């Protein structure tokens, strides 16, 4: 093969090695592993991809290992995996073009395709392993990746969608949308003119429709999906297997596998085959003769083998990993005992996702879920696109979930018990007698136990299910027939803030005077504001709302966040002001925080810090005093799966923060917990602090805003800070930045109007 390094035709020869044990200790990635769809084997491990996430099973010790951005992978949403026996490495290709090599000594990233801005369509169609090379068929041609040298020496730009390729002798064949192309490895294949049309005259199939080219039993073969498999015989094509249900073929351990629904055909040679039936199969792999690992979708990963009678049977029970049902954490609510996640939703432009209603629950150890099936059986219809969730204040097993179409579903003890729509409630549909056009959102409870919600594109946009089970419809003039009315925020002064994110975007504020009757209600609507500097502020997207511990109201917009420090003045329209947060950059100049960035969600933690999710910039955490950034998380500096944030929820008991993205869910072990009424429940972990521990010690169970000092036994101050809610952390270092000596250290705590006292002790061992 010629190594012609012509710059304008080649990717930059660049790879980046990541240590296999690279760790982000405070992060947890909550991938869905519900449905396995790819499997590959090495001598020691079975690798599988489920819902785009990678895990392995140890053949000898039966260990399970997951792989993600925490331990070195470059991305998520895996498109292909292939194991190369010669280089002893696993090729991992992601949907966005990133490529990783999982090797015995670490993970190597090859970013060339991902970073190449001249290639718009980076879709990968197939991978062919040949010696140390992986030939990657793409929408524009073929990438030749040297898995041993960890580089891309050649790229064949065929300027046509290439579905697969293979090599026989010195000839390379490519299946393309223009037909089958042939080139000689001794030629300069970087020159498109050296690729010729492979003349194949056959009436069995259209050469432009070939999905896979491969070499089996020394013969060039062709696969046409939902039609059959063919091979070259005396210069013409001959049918190997005709079947209009075939979905894929795979070569593994010198066997050809043809996959169809609930069965597969196993060819040891071009003349014979075994038929294995009554089995779910998405993919298959074999490293040892007559033993096969199968990706069975929702049935997990299973091993089968050929028995003495010639029949295939299971020798390893299904391997299933626990996790969310799907990677779509659209909205979340945290309680001390459980995280609730709903999958569904709509885009920023108001288009529904079309996802079947899914409720996922995490008890901080194990995931469970309720899919659309129970609701279908109970109500005789499919519920789609959950938008909001509310938990009954007196009964945590009683949930309400709104749908962007089908109304509101009530759950009790994890079972759907009622579907509210125009037939049995005050909810309105925008199409008469149509059960699929109730646009309901914004579920939330008030202090009296009444359930509030928004009902878009109808006359009475606010609906309330009171604590007695009676329905009420409230008319708010500014919300009359408005599109995609979003959330309701009930503030400390009992005002209801309602946001409209698009079309007639704005904020409506309702004072219902403590009753659920229209006559005494007053409301006001803003689509623009004056800020505290006297400048006009308007937005075409008011996207989310939150109230902090100072009773300030935060509103996310497509121009950044704004804050209302006097929300009780909302009805004084001539004097109502918003504040735009100003921070100081490295040069000492003031700038507007997240100016012109679309905000998707805002959550306030126990330390009164604002966790702000954005549409394309990740997550920002604003400090309690709103004058500094505590954290900035994105895909380049954290295991965050995507910079497009759907939702954020905090567990105020533990400080853990859950971040939902358009590619899945992660959590961060934060340091803000709810303050305690006294110091009776203070504890430190870990304690003692041993030599191998190089993280932060956590001191929790403190009162709100406790002034904390850590001293040695002689009273010398080692470290001091103020608690974030009821918790502080310490890096076990002194003011000079050095790890403290072995010994016992005192933690002293003080709040306003209280004297300093010994709260607890920390033992450090070096």
- The residues spanned by each domain of the chain are 7-11+33-319, 529-672, 683-764
Q: Are 730 and 697 in contact (CB under 8 A)?
A: yes
- Strands of 475-541, DSSP E: 488-490, 496-500, 506-511, 522-526, 528-531, 536-538
Q: Are 710 and 697 in contact (CB under 8 A)?
A: no
Strand-pair partners of 643: none
The DSSP code for 316 is E
CA–CA distance, 72 with 58 (Å, rounded to integer): 19
The DSSP code for 533 is T
CA–CA distance, 452 with 490 (Å, rounded to integer): 9
Q: Is 679 left (phi over 0), alpha (psi -120 to 50) or beta?
A: alpha
Please tell me the predicted confidence (pLDDT) of residue 561: 98
> Rounded mean pLDDT of 448-464?
97
Least confident of 8-17, 160-169, 272-281, 369-378: 8-17
Q: Kindly state the tokens that stand for 155.
A: 């790229």
CB environment 602-627: b (16+ within 10 A), e (fewer) = bbbbbbbbbbbbbbebbbbbbebebe
Q: Look at domain 683-764 and name its CATH class.
A: mainly beta
Indicate the CATH number of 7-11+33-319 among 3.30.565.10, 2.130.10.10, 2.60.40.10, 3.40.630.10. 2.130.10.10
Q: Is 385 left (phi over 0), alpha (psi -120 to 50) or beta?
A: left
Per-residue pLDDT tens over the stretch 559-591? 999 999 999 999 999 999 999 999 999 899 999
CB environment 380-395: b (16+ within 10 A), e (fewer) = eeebbbbbbbbbbeee
Q: Are 681 and 690 in contact (CB under 8 A)?
A: no
pLDDT over 90 (residue 176): yes
Sheet holding 124-130, edge to edge: 124-130, 133-138, 141-146, 151-157
Nearest to 399 by CA among 352, 445, 344: 445
* Parallel/antiparallel/unpaired status of strands 577-578 and 528-531: parallel
Strand-pair partners of 709: 720, 748
Q: Residue written as tokens 């351990």?
A: 253
> Rounded mean pLDDT of 82-102?
97
Query: Would 7-11+33-319 and 529-672 be classified into the same CATH topology?
Result: yes
Q: What angle do CA 200, 201, 207 make, to 5 degrees?
A: 60
Strand-pair partners of 404: 439
Q: How confident is the model at residue 5 (pLDDT cuts 50, 70, 90)?
A: very low
pLDDT exceeding 70 applies to what percent of the chain?
97
Q: Look at domain 529-672 and name its CATH class.
A: mainly beta
Q: How confident is the model at residue 44 (pLDDT cuts 50, 70, 90)?
A: very high
Please tell me the predicted confidence (pLDDT) of residue 756: 66
Q: Is the pTM of this model over 0.95?
A: no
Q: Kindly state the tokens that stand for 559.
A: 């121009």
What value does the CA radius of gyration of the chain take, rounded to a whole number of Å?
30
CA–CA distance, 716 with 424 (Å, rounded to integer): 69
173 contact partners, CB below 8 Å, separation of at least 6: 165, 166, 167, 180, 181, 182, 198, 213, 220
How many CB atoms sit inside 10 A of residue 692's CB?
A: 6
Q: Kindly state the tokens that stand for 89.
A: 């490495």
């Amino acid at each position: 093969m010629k190594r012609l390094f012509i710059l304008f035709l080649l990717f930059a020869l660049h790879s980046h090695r990541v240590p296999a044990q690279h760790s982000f200790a405070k992060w947890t990635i909550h991938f869905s592993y519900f449905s396995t769809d790819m499997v590959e084997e090495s001598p020691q491990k079975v690798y599988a991809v489920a819902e785009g996430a990678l895990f392995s099973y140890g053949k000898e010790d039966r260990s399970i290992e997951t792989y993600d951005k925490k331990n070195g992978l470059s991305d998520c949403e895996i498109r292909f995996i292939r194991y190369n026996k010669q280089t002893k490495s696993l090729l991992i290709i992601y949907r966005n073009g990133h490529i990783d090599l999982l090797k015995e000594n670490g993970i190597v990233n090859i970013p060339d395709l991902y970073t190449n801005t001249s290639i718009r369509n980076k879709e990968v169609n197939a991978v062919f392993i040949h010696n140390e090379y992986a030939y990657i068929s793409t929408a524009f041609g073929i990438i030749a990746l040297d898995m041993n040298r960890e580089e891309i020496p050649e790229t064949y730009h065929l300027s046509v969608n290439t579905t697969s390729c293979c090599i026989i002798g010195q000839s390379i064949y490519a299946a393309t949308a223009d037909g089958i192309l042939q080139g000689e490895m001794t030629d300069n294949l970087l020159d498109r003119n050296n690729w010729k049309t492979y003349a194949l005259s056959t009436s069995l199939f259209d050469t432009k429709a070939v999905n896979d080219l491969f070499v089996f039993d020394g013969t060039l073969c062709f696969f046409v999906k939902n039609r059959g498999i063919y091979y070259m015989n005396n210069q013409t094509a001959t049918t190997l297997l005709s079947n209009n249900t075939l979905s894929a073929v795979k070569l593994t351990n010198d066997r050809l596998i043809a996959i169809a629904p609930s069965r597969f055909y196993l060819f040891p040679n071009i003349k014979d085959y075994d038929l294995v039936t009554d089995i779910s199969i998405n993919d298959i792999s074999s490293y040892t003769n007559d033993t096969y690992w199968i990706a069975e979708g929702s049935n997990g990963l299973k091993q089968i083998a050929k028995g003495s009678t010639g029949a295939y049977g299971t020798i390893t029970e299904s391997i299933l990993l626990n996790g969310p049902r799907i990677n779509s954490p659209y909205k979340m609510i945290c309680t001390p005992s459980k995280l609730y996640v709903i999958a569904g939703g709509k885009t920023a432009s108001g288009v529904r996702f079309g996802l079947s209603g899914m409720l996922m629950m995490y008890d901080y150890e194990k995931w469970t879920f309720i899919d659309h099936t129970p609701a279908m059986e109970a109500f005789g219809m499919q519920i789609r696109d959950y938008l909001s969730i509310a938990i009954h204040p007196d009964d945590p097993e009683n949930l309400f979930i709104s749908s962007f179409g089908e109304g509101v579903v009530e759950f009790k003890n994890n079972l759907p018990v009622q579907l509210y729509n125009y037939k049995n409630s005050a909810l309105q549909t925008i199409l008469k007698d149509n059960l699929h056009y109730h646009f309901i959102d914004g579920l939330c409870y008030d202090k009296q136990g009444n359930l509030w919600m928004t009902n878009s594109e109808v006359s009475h946009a606010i609906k309330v299910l009171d604590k007695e089970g009676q329905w009420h419809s409230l008319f708010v003039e500014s919300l009359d027939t408005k599109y995609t009315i979003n959330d309701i925020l009930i503030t400390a002064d009992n005002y209801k803030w309602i946001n409209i994110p698009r079309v007639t975007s704005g904020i409506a504020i309702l004072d219902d005077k403590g009753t659920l009757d229209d006559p005494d209600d007053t409301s006001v609507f803003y689509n623009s504001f004056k800020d505290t500097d006297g400048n006009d502020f308007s937005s075409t997207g008011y996207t989310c709302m939150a109230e902090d511990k100072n009773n300030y109201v935060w509103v996310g917009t497509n121009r950044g966040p704004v804050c209302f420090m006097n929300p009780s003045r909302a009805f004084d329209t001539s004097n109502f002001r918003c504040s735009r947060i100003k921070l100081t950059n490295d040069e000492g100049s003031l700038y507007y925080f997240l100016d012109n960035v679309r905000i998707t969600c805002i959550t306030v933690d126990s330390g009164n810090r604002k966790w702000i999710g954005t549409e394309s910039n990740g997550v920002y955490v604003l400090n309690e005093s709103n004058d500094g950034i505590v954290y900035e998380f994105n895909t380049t500096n954290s295991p965050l799966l995507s910079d497009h944030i759907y939702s954020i929820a905090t567990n105020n008991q533990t400080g853990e923060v859950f971040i939902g993205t358009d590619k899945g869910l992660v959590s961060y072990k934060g340091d803000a917990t709810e303050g305690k009424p006294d110091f009776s429940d203070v504890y430190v972990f870990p304690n003692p602090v041993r030599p191998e521990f190089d993280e932060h010690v956590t001191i929790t169970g403190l009162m709100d805003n406790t002034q904390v000092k850590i001293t040695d036994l002689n009273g010398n101050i080692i470290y001091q800070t103020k608690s974030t809610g009821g918790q502080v952390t310490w890096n076990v270092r002194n003011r000079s930045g050095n790890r403290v000596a072995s010994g016992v250290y005192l933690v002293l705590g003080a709040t306003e109007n209280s004297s300093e006292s010994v709260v607890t002790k920390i033992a450090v061992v070096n």
